Chains A and B, each alone.
Chain A
């Protein structure tokens, strides 16, 4: 143990965090329960769920520190309703307090800037260091601004909000829409898959169209898709654009963005003609958050992190687990908040087992449920169940299971709001 680490643990002890000292490697709690020290980086659907469930399933035996720079959790799911105007940002914002109060998770409001897997130390922006027995990275995505060169500076990014991380960006996009004159054009540029939340851009187009239909009926929504076709719930979205939003929404496939002309407010493409828009919403290509790079766990296409699906441990770096949108997905596995929560539970069970000297569950199961709002109340779903395949050493969708809605409905709208309440509580309370 380094001097810094010892001093840091002592400092934690002095601050009243006595468990840090008793949770050193090898100090398992009585009764064969799990002990040890876990650091979780990132308090989104993946990281927050992992922090809670490790505390819960170890009966408080494992010391868990969650590193998250944001003061509150802002949900990406449902945030398109804020852009449409039927919900406020406060409606999709949840406190982190219950993770500490109900579960004893130590929350450090800081940004992780580096990981040293050899010494098992995480460095924070504040200069502090955290020691771990097992590290869980749930860093979400970073944007590949090199692919949209003119948006590489903060000023340009403020003028062309991605709103693909919920919070200030969501509000900024909403403000641009409310400021836009009737008769204007909103255009959304969608990156080539894989990206965070496959149906999200199409749901957003619906929500902007819902707003235009009521408040700015002469305005248009243009979907400029880098993909050859709608990547999720295609027939359901296309039906909505042809019927509910007839004359408002236009879908254009095969629009791979190359850059933006920030003065002319124009999106430029590999093959297709440039498109000018009054509100230009660029969702850039994505890769695992930067901390994954520092930890050395980025293994797929210099973008994503391959994991062992029994534990979500990196295939490359021992004792480092990766969750959520940052991983190299298995077949049929979307990058969704629901899926990140499910990754977290498989990982939490495995981490608690491993810290107790037991083998992880050899047959994990994950589900996905994703509701998309067509109007403010009417919703469609896609869902799937994924079981571990021992021969292929991956998780695969169960043949004959899963599927989509037959049509949009208000009952699924109620279920969608229920889903949000329960998953926010399951992740954070």
Chain B
């Protein structure tokens, strides 16, 4: 392969990366979103209190619970109000991230 296409490919890749960032695909988006839950559910979803840990819970389970909170089918105090603040896409991201975390 000639050096010129290589450089061009690298430049294209860099452009694509810059474009992706500008479009909001932060590689740490799921992690940062999940950190909004940590005040009550513990750092990285590992709770040190009575409220359940989220670390290591299956993604589908977390998504289902959040959607039930949003629909009001699970009676609760604070979670129905908080769950309505996140988009479907954000709930998927957060749930997926917690599912990959180690439960302690």
Contact = CB atoms under 8 A, between A and B. Distances in A.
Given A363-B29, A387-B85, A398-B84, A421 B35 contact: no
Contacts of A405: 77
Interface size class of A (residues with CB under 8 A): 35 or more
A415 interface: yes
Contacts of A394: none
Interface in B40-95: 40-43, 47-51, 77-78, 81-86, 90
A423 B39 contact: yes
A53 interface: yes
Contacts of A362: 21-22, 24, 26
B39 A338 contact: yes
A386 B36 CA distance: 11
A254 interface: no
Given A369-B40, A419-B40, A402 B81 contact: yes
Interface size class of B (residues with CB under 8 A): 20 to 34
Contact of B21 (A358, A369, A384, A423): A358
A326 interface: no
Given A367-B85, A405-B77, A53 B39 contact: no
Contacts of A12: none
B81 A401 contact: yes
A342 B77 contact: no
Nearest to B23: A362
A400 interface: yes
A409 B39 contact: no
Interface string A217-247: 0000000000000000000000000000000
A147 interface: no
Interface stretch (A116-124, A178-186, A255-263, A345-353): A345-353
B20 to A, nearest CB: 10
A279 B9 CA distance: 74
Given A353-B28, A383-B78, A422 B85 contact: no
A359 B14 CA distance: 13
A423 B47 CA distance: 10
Contacts of A364: 32
A398 B87 CA distance: 10
Contact of B48 (A384, A398, A409, A421): A421
A402 B82 contact: yes
Interface in A372-429: 381, 383-387, 397-398, 400-403, 405, 409, 411-412, 414-415, 417-419, 421-423, 425-426, 429
A409 B77 contact: yes
A365 interface: yes
A341 interface: yes
A423 B40 contact: yes
A415 B82 contact: no
A418 B50 contact: yes
A345 B84 CA distance: 21
Contacts, number: 122
A365 B30 CA distance: 11
Contacts of A414: 50
Nearest to B38: A426
A386 B77 CA distance: 19
Contacts of A338: 39
A400 B84 contact: yes
B28 A57 contact: yes
Interface in A256-287: none
A128 to B, nearest CB: 31
B24 to A, nearest CB: 5
A361 interface: yes
A361 B85 CA distance: 18
A422 B77 contact: no
A359 B83 CA distance: 28
Given A341-B39, A367-B85, A398-B85, A361 B77 contact: no
Nearest to B27: A358
Contact of B86 (A341, A385, A421): A385
B43 A383 contact: no
Nearest to A45: B39
A272 B97 CA distance: 56
Contacts of B26: 353, 359-363
Contacts of B41: 422
Task: Report which residue of A384, A387, A422, A423 has the largest number of chain B beta carbons within 10 angstroms of its beta carbon.
Answer: A422
B22 A361 contact: no
A366 interface: yes
Interface of B: 21-22, 24, 26, 28-29, 31-33, 35-43, 47-51, 77-78, 81-86, 90
7 shortest interchain CB distances as A-B pairs? A385-B85, A401-B85, A418-B49, A421-B49, A401-B84, A398-B85, A403-B81
